[in-house]
Amino acid sequence: MRVNEAEVVVAVVNALNAVNIPHMLVGSLSSNAYGIPRSTNDADLVIQWGSQSLSKLLQHLPQGFR
């Protein structure tokens, strides 16, 4: 299954929300929403990892994500 960049970002943000990991979207995607539009075809996330388990986060990502 092929997904676009926006679908990947939504899936990752949904997974982070599901396991209550604090995060924020930065870089060009946030700039497009709140500032000057630009495109770099990537997403930059800042994640406050803490004691959360990576395996718990991975359970909330769609099948096939690595």
Cα gap 29→43, rounded to integer Å: 6
Mean pLDDT, rounded, for 10-35: 84
Percent of the chain at pLDDT > 70 equals 82
Q: In angstroms, what CA-CA distances link 18 with 6, 24, 49, 59, 66? A: 18, 14, 14, 10, 18
Q: What is the pLDDT of residues 35-56, one digit of tens each?
A: 677 677 678 889 998 887 888 8
What tokens appear for 16 in the block? Answer: 């982070």
pLDDT at 15: 95
Closest-CA residue to 43 (of 60, 30, 59, 57): 30
Mean pLDDT, rounded, for 3-13: 85
Q: Look at 16 and 4; give whichever has higher pLDDT.
A: 16
Identity at 5, one-letter amino acid code: E
